[in-house]
Amino acid sequence: MTSTLVLGMGNPILSDDGVGLYVAQRLRATPLPDGVDVRESEVAGLRLLELLRGYDKVVIVDALQSGREAGEVVRYEARDFAGGHRYSSAHSIGLETALELGRTLGYDMPSDVTVFAVEAVDVETFAEELSAPVAEAAERVIALVRAEVGAA
């Protein structure tokens, strides 16, 4: 049986940065196919290795600030992150690099990684609420993720 992880990422107290966590919480309350796990994480970089290992497919939901229209949803594949992305900082490594490192270390890493990124309005204000455009986008992402894992 194929195993799939839906991973909502973000910070629950930095407004729109919590969109991935919100989507994961909502998805957990809906029927999903057997073999689909839903988890939340506030970590990135090397810390992702333990979360991702052992799954065939991973779907990540996270906030993004790239200058697009607020609430725009962009779908990426892991290879799109080669060379760094939001998942990179001075204290961590990029998603593609983490996956490559895991494979080099002999970990059973997923071969299929998809990221749904939501263009955030605010990831700096201490607030547990999403902005209106991001909250609306979250509902679209829930449907997109359900389709991605075969639950639509």
Percent share of the chain, pLDDT over 70: 90
d(CA 59, CA 78): 10
Number of domains in the chain: 1
Rounded-to-integer distance, Cα 9 and Cα 128, Å: 14
pLDDT single digits (tens) 60-74: 999 998 899 999 999
Quick one: 152 exposed, middle or buried, by C-beta within 10 A (0-12, 13-18, 19+)? exposed
DSSP state letter for 111: S
**Cα–Cα distance, 46 to 98 (Å, whole number):** 6
What's 95's domain CATH number?
Answer: 3.40.50.1450
Greatest Cα pair distance, the chain, in angstroms, is 43
90 has a pLDDT exceeding 60: no
Domain range spanning residue 107? 4-148
User: Residue for token digits 């969109």?
Assistant: 19
> Which pLDDT band, with edges at 50, 70 and 90, does 96 fall under?
confident
**Token digits of residue 53:** 């290992």
Helix segments in the chain, DSSP class H: 19-28, 48-52, 95-104, 132-148
